[in-house]
């Protein structure tokens, strides 16, 4: 299955992910209003994405992938320049990913900028933990 993903950093860039093979291709958008299935980024050179496919929200990070069901939760642990995203299923940790902590400019005057705008793993964690935000990925809710 192929999904179309919006770049989290470049508005006019989309990616096409083959969920079976893992192949990923980047394209420039021809139209700003292209419908997408989710969002992607590269974290410390590893591919990361959260998207809707096969009737549910899916998470892919490096070689790990999982459906973000109600049995799945996530947390980000901050530790002096190296953060860690931990994904759990039924209360048991199933995946851990350490990454360089992004720089956060607390003096940014933009009122709507949040830490998850700079930290894609935090963004993924927040969506996994929010049924309301996960529901927004379902095309039936758009």
Cβ atoms of 86 and 77 within 8 Å: the answer is yes
pTM value is: 0.90
pLDDT at 97: 98
Q: How far apart are CA 104 and CA 28, in angstroms?
A: 28
pLDDT at 111: 55
Q: How far apart are CA 32 and CA 92, in angstroms?
A: 41
DSSP calls for 16-42:
EEETTT--EEEEE-SSTT---SEEEEE
pLDDT at 113: 55
Per-residue pLDDT of the chain (142 residues; tens, 9 = 90+): 999 999 999 999 999 999 999 999 999 998 888 999 999 999 999 999 999 999 999 999 999 999 999 999 999 999 988 999 999 999 999 999 999 988 766 666 655 557 777 899 999 999 999 999 999 999 998 7
pLDDT at 36: 96
pLDDT at 31: 87
Q: How far apart are CA 29 and CA 37, in angstroms?
A: 14
């Amino acid at each position: 299955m192929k999904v179309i993903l919006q770049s989290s950093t470049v508005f006019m860039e989309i990616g096409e992910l083959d969920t079976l093979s893992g192949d990923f291709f980047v394209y420039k958008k021809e139209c700003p209003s292209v419908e997408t299935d989710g969002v992607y980024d590269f974290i410390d050179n590893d591919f990361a994405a959260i998207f809707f496919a096969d009737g549910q929200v899916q998470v892919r990070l490096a070689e790990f992938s999982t459906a973000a069901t109600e049995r799945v939760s996530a947390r980000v642990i901050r530790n002096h320049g190296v953060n860690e995203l931990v994904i759990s299923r039924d209360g048991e940790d199933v995946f851990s990913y350490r990454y360089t902590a992004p720089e956060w400019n607390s003096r940014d005057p933009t009122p709507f900028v949040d830490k998850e705008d700079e930290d894609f793993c935090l963004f993924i964690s927040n969506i996994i933990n929010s049924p309301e935000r996960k529901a927004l990925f379902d095309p039936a809710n758009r």
